A and B are shown apart, each in its own frame.
Chain A
Amino acid sequence: MSWAWTPAQDGDVFDAVYLNGLFSTAKTWLDDIEASGIREGSFNRHHCGDIMRDAILLEGDESATHVYNQSVFGASIVYSSYGADGGTTTAGDLGSGDRIVVGHPSATGGYTGAKAEYNWLAPGRRVGMANGSTSDNCNSIVLQGNVALVDIDPASAADLEFMLCFQYQNSSDGTWRTIDHSERFWRFDDKIIGSENVGLDCAVDAVLTPDIFDEHGAQATDYVQGVRMMASLYATGTTTNIEFTLNSWSMLILRPYASDL
């Protein structure tokens, strides 16, 4: 509570004990000021700490186009596998997955630069207000990405859909999982594409919340070890020789501070 001042009264004995008591009262209050003793709006930027635990930008430049082709895809993405968590960080190998890390194309791209994946030091970072003020805690993880889609093949397919999404890695089992609602599809057809390049900018964003994390983990004990941006291509009736080409891309990661105090 705020300081409740007791004024001197006529008739009080103004001796050393009384005088020392006045200073003692002031010290007691000023040594431990409570929230109600602080006026709203008292603190400005000089008093406040950082709002972001992390603010990270990953980028791939346009010094070369990056080709992701069927030899590394395994199979065209199909709606029956919508929401799948496939994909690996191994260049040229999607394994059983149906998507690949942006910035990590197949060997045909010949690109060895940055990739759209960030890994925190072990054990990772926690997500969620329930974790109090632990130094690794954050409210959520904001993800935002953009890629320049240069071309997709085959142009003759009846339907073509390019897909972007975000994935995160849970410390409990090391599995990369797709944030389902982050999946975005860009649909084309051969009449539009023809023999031209696509030249399309594809943007995607998502927030990894504690609720999403809790679907496969426990925010109080598990950690987010990494996040990444994945891409894939769906071609109706075609499971071979599909390919897409990317150019510049960027991925942004923000971890706003959180505390339950």
Chain B
Amino acid sequence: MPNITFGNTFTDGTALSATSLRQNIYRTTSPATGLSIVNGLLDEDNIDSSASLSPEHTQRGAFIDGSMRAATLNMDYFDEYFSNYTDTTWDSTNTPGERAIPGGCWSDWIPYDGKAWVQWQIMWGNQSTDATHRSRIYLKVNDTYQTNQRRAVGLSINSNAHEGYRRNRVWSGSTLVDVSEGRNHFGLYVICHSGINHTRVWARNISVVHWRETS
């Protein structure tokens, strides 16, 4: 709606009608004219060209918003959790028994179509003694497996101890995701070869920064 146009101009000697006066103040025609435009029809044309609008004029989250989930409590996963999973290669369609990791998942309402910047850190390890027996961590976005966001530990180590550089992993990952208005879920999941008795997840976090995209 551009600048205001009044439908009626008054002249001396002409009887002032209630209707013509009211039409300048409030008129329900489409498009609205007169002062009716203050009812939600003001737009950029009504703002002075030299006005400098500051962030204080906007509501929190109008441009960008986000939050983080995190946890430090050790999470122990044992072989019986994973339905005797024995797949030794990544399989995007068959990951039975996968477990969402508490503290490694983010689920919330995003009030617009836009993009989400997802960042996470996670530490995990196992006591595998077979190079093909791995504890796998991967990211799912709204229940969709992310091909490029997956990592595994479990190398050929002649020890059953968790300790050691080669059987632990620290993953600081990030990605950019198109999101739609509504509830969105980003989560780190774990699945382990059934030959691994014990997988432990240590500290983890996942943060999501999202913003609206209009085009």
Encode B46-68 as 1/0 by CB contact (under 8 A) with A: 11111111101111011110000
Bound CA–CA A104/B144 (angstroms)? 28
Q: Counting CB contacts under 8 A, is A78 at the interface?
A: no
Chain A interface SS verdict (over half): mixed
CB distance from B172 to the nearest CB of A (A): 4
Q: Counting CB contacts under 8 A, is B99 at the interface?
A: no
Choose from B45, B58, B215 the contact partner of A44 (Cβ within 8 Å): B58
Choose from B9, B35, B38, B62 the contact partner of A48 (Cβ within 8 Å): B62
CB-based nearest B residue for A247: B151
Q: Are A254 and B117 in touch, CB under 8 angstroms?
A: yes
Encode A102-142 as 1/0 by CB contact (under 8 A) with B: 00000000000000000000000000000000000000000
Q: Counting CB contacts under 8 A, is A19 at the interface?
A: yes
Bound CA–CA A126/B156 (angstroms)? 50
CB-based nearest B residue for A39: B57
Q: Which of B69-77, B163-171, B194-202 contacts A (4 or more CB under 8 A)?
A: B163-171
Q: Are B151 and A148 in touch, CB under 8 angstroms?
A: yes
Q: A40-B57, A60-B148, A252-B175 are in contact. Are A55 and B115 (CB under 8 A)?
A: yes
Q: A148-B151, A199-B155, A201-B172 are in contact. Are A30 and B53 (CB under 8 A)?
A: no
Encode B1-41 as 1/0 by CB contact (under 8 A) with A: 00110100111101010000000100000000001011000
Which residues of A lie under 8 Å from residue B12 when comparing CB positions?
Answer: 15-17
Q: Counting CB contacts under 8 A, is B189 at the interface?
A: no
Q: Are B6 and A23 in touch, CB under 8 angstroms?
A: yes
CB distance from A206 to the nearest CB of B (A): 13
Choose from B51, B166, B173 the contact partner of A201 (Cβ within 8 Å): B173
Q: Are A35 and B53 in touch, CB under 8 angstroms?
A: yes
Bound CA–CA A23/B175 (angstroms)? 55
Q: Counting CB contacts under 8 A, is A50 at the interface?
A: yes
Instruction: Report, as a range, how many residues of chain B touch the other chain.
Output: 35 or more
CB-based nearest A residue for B64: A51
Which residues of A lie under 8 Å from residue B148 when comparing CB positions?
Answer: 59-62, 248, 250
Q: Counting CB contacts under 8 A, is B133 at the interface?
A: no
Which residues of A lie under 8 Å from residue B161 when comparing CB positions?
Answer: none
CB distance from B211 to the nearest CB of A (A): 5
Q: Counting CB contacts under 8 A, is A144 at the interface?
A: yes
Q: A48-B62, A248-B150 are in contact. Are A40 and B172 (CB under 8 A)?
A: no
Q: Are B4 and A51 in touch, CB under 8 angstroms?
A: no
Q: Counting CB contacts under 8 A, is B112 at the interface?
A: yes
Bound CA–CA A170/B3 (angstroms)? 44
Encode A195-233 as 1/0 by CB contact (under 8 A) with B: 011011101000000000000000000000000000000
Q: Are B156 and A33 in touch, CB under 8 angstroms?
A: no
Q: Are B153 and A30 in touch, CB under 8 angstroms?
A: no
Q: Are B176 and A50 in touch, CB under 8 angstroms?
A: no
Q: A26-B4, A250-B148, A261-B52 are in contact. Are A48 and B63 (CB under 8 A)?
A: yes
Choose from A32, A50, A60, A201 the contact partner of B170 (Cβ within 8 Å): A201
CB-based nearest B residue for A249: B148
Instruction: Report, as a range, how many residues of chain A touch the other chain.
Output: 35 or more
Q: Are B175 and A250 in touch, CB under 8 angstroms?
A: yes
Q: Are B172 and A203 in touch, CB under 8 angstroms?
A: yes
CB distance from A18 to the nearest CB of B (A): 9
Q: Are A23 and B24 in touch, CB under 8 angstroms?
A: yes
Choose from A45, A62, A192 the contact partner of B212 (Cβ within 8 Å): A45
CB-based nearest B residue for A260: B52
Choose from A43, A199, A261 the contact partner of B169 (Cβ within 8 Å): A199
Bound CA–CA A45/B59 (angstroms)? 8
CB distance from A62 to the nearest CB of B (A): 7
Q: State the B residues within 8 Å of A (CB).
A: 3-4, 6, 9-12, 14, 16, 24, 35, 37-38, 42, 45-54, 56-59, 61-64, 90, 111-112, 115, 117, 119, 147-151, 153, 155-156, 165-166, 169-176, 211-215
Q: List 20 A-B contacts (CB under 8 A).
A: A15-B12, A16-B11, A20-B10, A30-B42, A33-B47, A34-B51, A35-B53, A41-B57, A43-B58, A44-B58, A45-B62, A51-B212, A52-B211, A55-B117, A62-B150, A196-B155, A248-B151, A250-B175, A252-B174, A254-B117
5 further A-B pairs in the complex, CB-CB below 8 A; given A27-B3, A42-B58, A44-B58: A20-B9, A32-B48, A35-B48, A50-B215, A196-B155
The 10 closest A-B pairs by CB, nearest first: A203-B172, A57-B176, A32-B48, A31-B3, A51-B63, A16-B10, A35-B51, A16-B12, A43-B58, A27-B4
